[in-house]
Chain A
Amino acid sequence: MQKTIRDETITLIKAYLPEIGVQVPLRSEEDIEKICDFFEYMEVTLANALADGEKVDRNLLDAAASAFDDLAIVEDDEYHDIDDLNRRLMMRLLVSNKYFQTGVR
């Protein structure tokens, strides 16, 4: 079954692309795993901070958790459409003015 990736997840990937450390276009499933691990770690960090009583952006926490759910493969028959993901990511990067102005993602 193909995993459906929501637009919010694409936005989040775009926002954290330099910190994740992957190049667009994504080449293999390993790149997606790397993104997935990043969001898992982000969720854990924010949830730990929240549990310790710190002020945390709950929307970001939920967005990271949902992005992880979108990207993680937990069933044998699940897979990602990398071409579609690349196309959507490239569209987002091209649309952003910052990319046009500075050439930096």
Chain B
Amino acid sequence: MSANDFRKKSRRAMANKNTRPVKVGRFIVTSHAQNRMILRDIPNEAMIRNLCRKPEAKSPVRYDSSGRPSYNRHNTESTTSINPISKNVATIHALKEADARRYGIRRTHLKTEAELRKERAFAKTTKEKIKKSHTSKVHSRNRSHRTKAASADIQKQGQRGKKCRKLSGMKQ
């Protein structure tokens, strides 16, 4: 599975406790990270942005009691915790205010999945409205063209009739 497949992975599948880990770039998004993405309402695109773009800051590597290393990768909107040896993404959350202050990162609002869904719906409706208005304009233009052409034809025919009547010497 690649980043593109991860973008398309359904939210229902990601909410499952035993969901499959997904490879995004050189990192592996663990099942816990995917579960937390759903609970924290973080969109898939935010995870991909964090992992595939150059990070704003990285925390120093820390070792837990069993000697497993981990470091945090900070973006302007989110933070991921990564094991540098196995490349496992342990978790993801929105960038904390304290971390932004500590590393001098200018924080941007992380759009939640619900907000993105609203935006998409709004864009869809406006697009449809524009399309509808455009088609109606085209129709009206065509209609006006047709009427103009028809009136011109009628005029021509009328003139022709006049000429004919003149030539034949009929009274108008």
Contact = CB atoms under 8 A, between A and B. Distances in A.
Interface residues of B, number: 30
Contact of A52 (B31, B39, B86, B94): B86
For chain A, what secondary structure do more than half of its interface residues adopt (helix, strand, loop), or is it mixed?
helix
A43 B83 CA distance: 13
Interface stretch (A8-16, A20-28, A66-74, A90-98): A66-74
A74 B97 contact: yes
A69 B86 contact: no
Interface residues of A, number: 24
Contacts of A72: 93-94, 96
Contact of B96 (A36, A45, A49, A50): A36
A98 B96 CA distance: 35
A48 B36 CA distance: 14
A51 B32 contact: yes
Interface of B: 17, 21, 28, 30-33, 36, 39-40, 62, 64-66, 68, 70, 81, 83, 86, 88, 90-91, 93-98, 109-110
Interface of A: 33, 36-37, 40-41, 43-45, 47-52, 58, 61, 65, 68-69, 72-76
